[in-house]
Amino acid sequence: MEKGAKIFVAGHQGIIGEALVRRLREDGHTNLLLRTSPELNLLDQKAVSYFFSTYKPEYVFLAAGKVGGILANSTYPAEFIYINLQIQNNVIHCAFESGVKKLLFLGSPCMYPKFCQQPMKEEYLLTGPIEPTNEPYAIAKIAGVKMCQSYNRQYGTNFMPVIPADVYGTNDDFSDSGHVVPSLIRRFHEAMTNGSNSITLWGTGKPRREFLYADDLSEALIFLMDVYDGSEIINVGTGYDTSVAELARSIKKMVGFDGKIIYDKTKPDGMPRRLLDVSRITSLGWRPKTGLVEGLELTYAWYKQCKMSNKDS
Ligand SMILES: NC(=O)c1ccc[n+]([C@@H]2O[C@H](COP(=O)([O-])OP(=O)(O)OC[C@H]3O[C@@H](n4cnc5c(N)ncnc54)[C@H](OP(=O)(O)O)[C@@H]3O)[C@@H](O)[C@H]2O)c1
């Protein structure tokens, strides 16, 4: 991407979009097109069409969507399928119509089959049934991948489907609707400050997950936008996973919580394991820089800082 190229980051206030914008600016990109959802509702086809035909972005990072953990996915399945399908339909189609040079679409590891062979290679997509708790979200995301690939095949566009591991970092959603890392950080922090004796977590603690720091992902996405052309999916991860129980123990230690961790085994675990095979992106020359402990500390520091500034204001 040329330094003055017009780059639209859809979802620039989200965890991934915010890290992307920070990184693009650090890299000297000056012509970023950024819109909040009240300024440009990506569910509104006419508004999206007007935006693309008027501003003519050259590159698009599609980092907008409805995102959440297992609780949110189970509670709002209709929103997860509708919002993600609608946003990607509008953005991908209008990107084609307005002649965008390259678009990067973000999929999710939960698109792979529930009992997928590990680590999950890109070609394992659609080789088995999906974990039911996140099926509506995963089906929408699979449609997005197929849309990129179909537009490339029929119209010769350059739309790239990328599957990142579970992302965490600054600017995350620390509420109960969020993903496992931010919600555990908040819950352990609150348990520690309230002097609680125990904390109860959903499931058995046995599922294994791969966590990628958002700043590492943003670097990978810009790298792919620069060096990669093609319809083949690219996984982006660390190549290492950890169990939810190990993650919880690390966060407990980091936060300084002395109480007990209890597992509510009546609650669902989700996919048993989610580890991406990262040989494709590794062979292109990219590797992450931030280890899990370091990433958790940076995220916790940001969370505490935000709490302090909210208190002050
Ligand atoms: N987080 C992960 O672990 C992860 C992993 C793999 C893939 N992904 C994918 O990466 C993408 C970004 O995820 P994220 O975690 O960064 O999400 P996030 O933090 O929840 O941010 C979502 C962004 O989407 C925007 N958005 C939502 N509805 C919109 C609408 N109707 N119109 C315009 N903008 C809208 C939001 O804008 P406002 O703030 O203005 O409302 C926000 O900036 C998603 O497609 C997700 O599926 C995420």
Is residue 11 within 6 Å of ligand 1 at its C-beta? yes
What is the residue range of 53's domain?
7-169+210-241+273-290
What residues contact residue 163 under an 8 Å CB cut-off, 6+ apart? Answer: 106, 107, 108, 109, 111, 122, 233, 234, 235, 236, 276
Atom of ligand 1 nearest to the CA of 173: 19
Look at residue 1 and tell me if it is in a domain: no
Q: What is the pLDDT of residue 313?
A: 47
Per-residue pLDDT of the chain (313 residues; tens, 9 = 90+): 999 999 999 999 999 999 999 999 999 999 999 999 999 999 999 999 999 999 999 999 999 999 988 888 889 999 999 999 999 999 999 999 999 999 999 999 999 999 999 999 999 999 999 999 899 999 999 999 999 999 999 999 999 999 999 999 998 888 877 789 999 999 999 999 999 999 999 899 999 999 999 999 999 999 999 999 989 999 999 999 999 999 999 999 999 999 999 999 998 888 889 999 999 999 999 999 999 999 999 999 999 998 777 755 4
Distance CA 303, CA 313 (A): 15
Q: What is the pLDDT of residue 175?
A: 83
Atom of ligand 1 nearest to the CA of 212: 3
- Tally of domains in the chain: 1
Question: What is the 80 CA–ligand 1 centroid distance (Å)?
Answer: 11
Look at residue 310 and tell me if it is in a domain: no
Q: What is the pLDDT of residue 176?
A: 78
Residue 6 region by backbone torsions, left for phi larger than 0, else alpha for psi between -120 and 50, else beta:
beta
Look at residue 258 and tell me if it is in a domain: no
Look at residue 254 and tell me if it is in a domain: no
CATH for 135: 3.40.50.720
Which amino acid, 252? Answer: K
Look at residue 307 and tell me if it is in a domain: no
Catalytic site includes residue 137:
yes
Q: What is the pLDDT of residue 271?
A: 84
Distance CA 124, CA 38 (A): 38
Look at residue 165 and tell me if it is in a domain: yes
Distance CA 303, CA 306 (A): 5
Look at residue 205 and tell me if it is in a domain: no
Beta-sheet strand order (sheet of 7-10) = 32-33, 7-10, 59-62, 102-106, 159-164, 234-236
Residue 256 region by backbone torsions, left for phi larger than 0, else alpha for psi between -120 and 50, else beta:
left
Is residue 165 within 6 Å of ligand 1 at its C-beta? no
Q: How far is CA 245 from the centre of its chain?
A: 22
Query: What is the tally of helices (H) and strands (E) in the chain?
Result: 10, 13
Q: What is the pLDDT of residue 306?
A: 84
- Of 24, 15, 26, 55, which is closest to residue 39 (Cα–Cα)? 55
Q: What is the pLDDT of residue 309?
A: 77
Is residue 164 within 6 Å of ligand 1 at its C-beta? yes
Look at residue 72 and tell me if it is in a domain: yes
